[in-house]
Amino acid sequence: MRARYLVAYDVSDPKRLRLVHKTVRGFGEAMQYSVFVCDLSDHEKVLLRGAVAEIIHADEDRVMIVHLGPADGRGAQCFEILGRQHAAEDPGAVIV
Domain ranges for the chain: 3-71
Q: Are 50 and 18 in contact (CB under 8 A)?
A: no
Note the pTM of the prediction, 2 decimals.
0.81
Side chain identity, residue 80? E
Confidence bin at 95 (pLDDT 50/70/90) = low
Looking at the domain covering 3-71, what would its CATH class be? alpha beta
Give residue 37's Cα distance to chain centre.
4
CA separation for the pair 9, 17 (Å, rounded): 9
CA separation for the pair 65, 68 (Å, rounded): 9
Tens of pLDDT, residue by residue over 11-49, are 999 999 999 999 999 999 999 889 999 999 999 999 999
Q: What is residue 37's three-state secondary structure?
A: strand
